[in-house]
Amino acid sequence: MFASREVELVLVGSLHLSSKEGLLAQLEQRGYKVKPYQITK
């Protein structure tokens, strides 16, 4: 799916993330490690 094994940042709308068939679930099914992004001040 991505061209390299480096860390990738993907920005999408929230409705594409939350379902059982959403983007996060699809990435995990393909073996990608998915974790929340923490914004620090």
Tens of pLDDT, residue by residue over 15-37, are 888 788 898 899 899 998 888 87
Q: In a 10 Å sphere around its CB, with 0-12 CB exposed, 13-18 middle and 19+ buried, how is residue 41 labelled?
A: exposed
Each domain of the chain, given as residue ranges in start order, spans 1-41
Task: Please compute the mean of the pLDDT values over residues 3-10 and round it to a whole number.
Answer: 72
Question: Residue 7's pLDDT band (boundaries 50, 70, 90)?
Answer: confident
The DSSP annotation for 1-34 comes to --SSSS-------GGGTSSTTSHHHHHHHTT---
pLDDT at 5 over 80: no
pLDDT at 1 over 70: no
